[in-house]
Amino acid sequence: MDYLEINKANWDERAPAHVTSAMYGVDRFADPAHLSDVVRFDLPLLGDVTGLRGVHLQCHIGTDTISLARLGARMTGLDLSPASLAEARKLAAGTDVDFHEADVYDAVDVLGAAEFDLVYTGIGALCWLPDVARWGQVVAGLLRPGGRLFIREAHPMLMALGDDLLPHYPYFETDEPIAEEDSGTYTGDGTSIGNRLTHSWDHGLGETVTGLLTAGMRLTGLVEHDSVPWEALPGHMTADEHGEWRLTSKPRSLAASFTLQAVKEG
């Protein structure tokens, strides 16, 4: 079984649990002005997206996709999990957001080349892809000349750490996946997952930047943050009022996430 089948089975099980979790706060979307905590965090760097045609890669249940649409972008979402997309379509009912089921690497074939002004990727996405340079080619393929990539992602420094705050995982991209089994999900709601196996990869910050540059993108911003929107290191982090988690002791000692922006040349 390849990594796509393994991870799809896992995410199909996670989706219904995430819809009812406090972390995603799906019920709050009944307020037409509500934005996801993730997109609200992004706003100072994201800027005005009014009128942009945007695609959200690895959109999961669509909370961030719909939030971007509420900010005025014309949004499309893409994800490999049909269960996640079923929930996204329910949440987007009555809007013009459209969703497509596909592997990220097939996005240009599915959605068309040079169709978008904005490619958006939310946090916790790149680790499910084995080749970050190939992802960079997809981003460049989707964007019109002058179009922009916006991604906030977990920092590879954080992703290399184990629960004891020591490095247990590779910082750099590896040929072989990190194969793990976990009966729960990161929302901390007590859900038990039957398809527990996942395959993931870390990608060094330099590898991610170089992949985009090689694909013809021009880096326009790179900001590192001391927080992530989930308890990535259980027992060692404290949440603020916005759902951002930082190291309880010496929070400024760890780069926990980063925001990267790039523009397609041409």
Sign of CA dihedral 224, 103, 178, 171: negative
> How many structural domains comprise the chain?
1
**What pTM was computed for the model?**
0.95
Report residue 15 as tokens: 């989706």
Listed in sequence order, the DSSP H helices in 47-142 are 63-70, 82-91, 107-111, 132-142
* Sign of the Cα pseudo-torsion (262, 143, 92, 12, in order): negative
Give me the domain span that covers residue 247: 3-264
Q: How far apart (Å, rounded) are the C-alpha atoms in residues 58 and 234?
A: 25
pLDDT (tens, 9 = 90+) of the chain, 266 residues, equals 699 999 998 889 888 888 888 888 899 999 999 999 999 999 999 999 999 999 999 999 999 999 999 999 999 999 999 999 999 999 999 899 999 999 999 999 999 999 999 999 999 999 999 999 999 999 999 999 999 999 999 999 999 999 999 999 999 999 999 998 876 677 666 666 767 899 999 999 999 999 999 999 999 999 999 999 999 999 999 999 999 999 999 999 999 999 999 999 98
DSSP assigned state of 218:
E
CATH code of the domain covering residue 230: 3.40.50.150
